Structure 1
Amino acid sequence: MVKTVRLEPIAQDSAIETMGNLLSVLLNKDLDVLKECGGHGRCATCHIYVKDGMASLTPIARREQRTLEVITSCKPNSRLACQARVIGSGVVVELPPGMYVNSIKDIEALIGRRAEQDLLHPLTGQVLVEAGKLITRSMLKKIEDTTPFNPSNYFSNSSSV
C-alpha cells in the first residue's frame, strides 16, 4: 500500500510503499543526502526531524538510538531517514538546515568565501562553519581534525549493537 510523506520546507509530497524507508524519499527528490555509512544508521548524513507522524514510523532501534546520541543537533523528534520506515499516514519530515561536509576537498575551493549555509560534520551534525562566516585555513584545520569520517571512531566505546 502506498503512503504519502510530506517534505518541509520544500512543501512537496512524495509517495512511498508501506515499510519503505524515508531515505528513499529524500533520494527520489534529489535532495543533498550523502548516506556516508551506506544507509546502516551509523552516520548523521540522513538525519531528519519528524514534524508530524512519528507514530506512523517504525520504532527507533538500538543502533539508531546510539547514532542519535552523538548528533549534536539531535532533538526529541530526530530520526535517521535510513532507519525510519513508514507504516502509517501523515508523516511530515524536515531536513536540518545546513550542508554536510563529505570531504576536505569539498570545501578547499571555498577558502576565502563566506559559507552560504552551515557546514555540518557528517557524523555528529556539529556546525563546523556557520552560515555567513568566512571559510579560512584555520577553519580547514578544524575540519581536518575531525577526519577521517570513520563511524567506528565515534562508537568504539559503545557496546555492540
Structure 2
Amino acid sequence: MSKVVRLDPIGQEATVSTNDHLLSVLLKQELQVLQECGGRGMCATCHIFIKEGMEHLSPVSRRERRTLGVIATCQHQSRLACQSKVVGEGVVVELPSGMYLSEMSEIENLIGRRTEENILHPLDGRVLVETGKLITRSMITQLKETQSEVATQVATSQLN
C-alpha cells in the first residue's frame, strides 16, 4: 500500500510503498542526495528533518542514533532518510539547506565564484563554505582533505 510524503521547502509530494525508506522518496524526486555509506546509516549524507509525522516512521535504531549524534546540525526531529521507513500517512520531510560535498571536479570549477548554497560536511553536516562566500584555492584544499576524511571514515565503518 502506498503512502504520500510531502517534501518541504520544495513543495513536492511523492508516493512510497509502506516500509520503504524515505531515501527512496528523495531519489525518485531526483534530489541530489549522497549515499556515501550505501544506505547503511553511517555517513549522515541523507540527514533530513521530520516536520510532521515522526510517529509514522520506523523507530530510530542504535546505529542511526549514533550517527545522528555526530551531526552538528542535528535536532530533535532529525532522521537519516536511509534508516526511516514509512509506516503511515502524514510524513512531511524538510530538506536541509545546502549541498553535501561530492565530486571535487565540480567544486574546482567554482574557484573564483560565490557559492549559491552552503556546502556541507558529509559526515557531520557542518557548513564548510557558507552561501555567498567566494571559493578560493585554500578552500579547495580544505574540501579535498574533507573528502579524504570521508573516504577513510566510510571504509573504516564498512570493516566494523
TM-score normalized by the length of structure 2: 0.92
Contact 2:22–2:82 (Cα < 8 Å) also in 1 = yes
The offset of 1:106, in angstroms, is 2.4
In the TM superposition, what are the counterparts of 1:24-43 in structure 2 within 5 Å? 24-43=24-43
5+ residue gaps, structure 2: none
The offset of 1:144, in angstroms, is 2.4
The offset of 1:151, in angstroms, is 6.1
Identify the residue that residue 6 of structure 1 maps to in structure 2.
6
Distance 1:47 1:127 in 2: 14
Distance 1:151 1:4 in 2: 37
Matching of residue 121 in structure 1 with residue 121 in structure 2: yes
Higher helix share: 2
In the TM superposition, what are the counterparts of 1:74-153 in structure 2 within 5 Å? 74-148=74-148, 149-150=150-151, 152=153
TM-score normalized by the length of structure 1: 0.91
In the TM superposition, what are the counterparts of 1:18-57 in structure 2 within 5 Å? 18-57=18-57
Percent identical pairs in the alignment equals 56
Distance 1:48 1:155 in 2: 24
Size of the aligned set, in residue pairs, is 157
Distance 1:145 1:37 in 2: 18
Bigger mean CA deviation after superposition, 103-112 or 144-153: 144-153
Instruction: Give the match's secondary structure for 1:145.
Output: helix
Instruction: Give the match's secondary structure for 1:32.
Output: coil
Bigger mean CA deviation after superposition, 139-148 or 96-105: 139-148
The offset of 1:152, in angstroms, is 3.0
5+ residue gaps, structure 1: none
Per-residue deviation, residues 110-145 of structure 1 (Å, max 9, x unmatched): 111000000111111111100000001111122223
Contact 1:47–1:79 (Cα < 8 Å) also in 2 = yes
Runs of 4+ off more than 6 Å: 153-156
Change (3 A) 1:150 1:132: same
Identify the residue that residue 17 of structure 2 maps to in structure 1.
17
AA aligned opposite 1:133: K
